[in-house]
């Protein structure tokens, strides 16, 4: 297994455009998380899935953000009508749930950097 | 809601010396996990060390050890014999939960940038 992969690694877009990021987790992991990180800050939680079910979504997340994990494997994060404040690194992580014998450790991808002009 | 505070935005240490990074957290939970993650420049974040709140013994991983003070809600990371490859941003993280239950998300602090000088 090559770990968590994210695509694209970099995205430059104009304000008002829609963007979509993809995350492929470690195949045997049942949990998938999306975080946002801006320069000099820690990762900020956006949402997470257990298998295909979206279990929690940050209240800070506007309706312009949506995430899916249709078959419990890869996930997509879409941002509609992007704003300059959306510029950030979007991190995906996967893990085993604790109930499944996991340790709580998150395995991160390298992130997708979004720049909104 | 849980909060994690790292009060040292930047630190530096000479190669081969010891450095301690601080972390405090606020929670009303009794069962939880604490983590230190390392994010090297332009590289992905990886786990350094993990501590279960129900364990009194401090976790150690080679040159990395923690000082977990549950009553004080403090979780510091000590790096011994610092190496140039330890240069990175270090994040403290909190996850509520208990073994055999479905815990939720991890909450991260804002990080400490550590520079190891030759």
Question: DSSP letter at B37?
Answer: E
User: Among candidates A111, A98, A80, which has minimal Cα distance to A3?
Assistant: A111
pLDDT at A97 over 80: no
User: What is the phi/psi pair of residue A86, to 5°?
Assistant: -80, -10
Q: What is the pLDDT of residue B100?
A: 47
Q: Are the beta carbons of A110 and B110 separated by less than 8 Å?
A: no
**CB contact at 8 A, B43 and B61:** no
Sort out which chain B residues have CB atoms less than 8 A from A44's CB and list them.
108
pLDDT at A88 over 70: yes
Q: What is the pLDDT of residue A101?
A: 67
Q: Which of B100, B106, B109 sits opposite A106 (nearest CB)?
A: B106
- When the pLDDT of each residue in chain A is averaged and rounded to a whole number, the result is 92
Q: What is the pLDDT of residue A99?
A: 65
Which residues of B lie closer than 8 Å to A, measured between beta carbons?
4, 6, 9, 33, 35, 37, 43-47, 50, 91, 93, 95, 97-111
Query: How confident is the model over B51-101, as pLDDT tens digits?
Result: 999 898 999 999 999 999 999 999 999 999 999 999 999 999 999 876 545
Sort out which chain A residues have CB atoms less than 8 A from B33's CB and list them.
104
pLDDT at A100 over 70: no
Q: What is the pLDDT of residue A79?
A: 97
Q: A64-99 burial string, b = 16+ CB within 10 Å, else e? A: ebebebeeeebbebebeebeeebbbbbbbbbbbbbe
Query: How confident is the model over B5-61, as pLDDT tens digits?
Result: 999 999 999 999 999 999 999 998 888 999 999 999 888 999 999 999 989 899 999
**CB contact at 8 A, A78 and A19:** yes
The torsion angle over the Cα atoms of residues B42, A32, A12 and A19, rounded to 10 degrees, is 180
Query: How confident is the model over A64-76, as pLDDT tens digits?
Result: 999 999 988 999 9
* Long-range Cβ contact pairs of B39-44 (< 8 A, separation 24 or more): B39/B88, B39/B89, B39/B90, B39/B91, B39/B111, B40/B85, B40/B87, B40/B88, B40/B89, B41/B87, B41/B88, B43/A110, B43/B88, B44/A3, B44/A4, B44/A108, B44/A109, B44/A110, B44/A111
Q: What is the pLDDT of residue B99?
A: 53
């Amino acid at each position: 297994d090559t770990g968590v992969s994210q695509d694209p690694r970099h995205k430059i877009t104009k304000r008002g455009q829609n963007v979509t990021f993809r995350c492929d987790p470690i195949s045997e992991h049942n949990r998938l998380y999306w975080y946002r990180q801006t320069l000099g800050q820690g990762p900020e939680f956006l949402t997470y899935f257990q298998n295909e079910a979206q279990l929690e979504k940050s209240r800070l997340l506007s309706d312009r953000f949506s995430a899916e994990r249709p078959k419990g494997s890869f996930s997509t994060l879409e941002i509609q009508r992007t704003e300059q404040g959306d510029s950030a690194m979007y991190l995906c992580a996967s893990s085993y749930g604790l109930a499944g014998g996991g340790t709580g450790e998150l395995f991160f991808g390298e992130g997708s950097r979004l720049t909104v002009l | 809601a849980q909060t994690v505070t790292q009060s040292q935005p930047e630190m530096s240490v000479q190669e081969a010396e010891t450095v301690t990074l601080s972390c405090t957290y606020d929670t009303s939970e009794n069962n939880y996990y604490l983590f230190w993650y390392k994010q090297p420049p332009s590289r992905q974040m990886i786990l350094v060390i993990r501590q279960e709140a129900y364990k009194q013994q401090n976790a150690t991983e080679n040159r990395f050890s923690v000082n977990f003070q549950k009553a004080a809600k403090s979780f510091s990371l000590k790096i011994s014999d610092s190496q140039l490859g330890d240069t990175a941003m270090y994040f403290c993280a909190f996850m509520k939960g208990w073994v055999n239950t479905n815990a939720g998300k991890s909450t991260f602090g804002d990080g400490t940038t550590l520079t190891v000088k030759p």
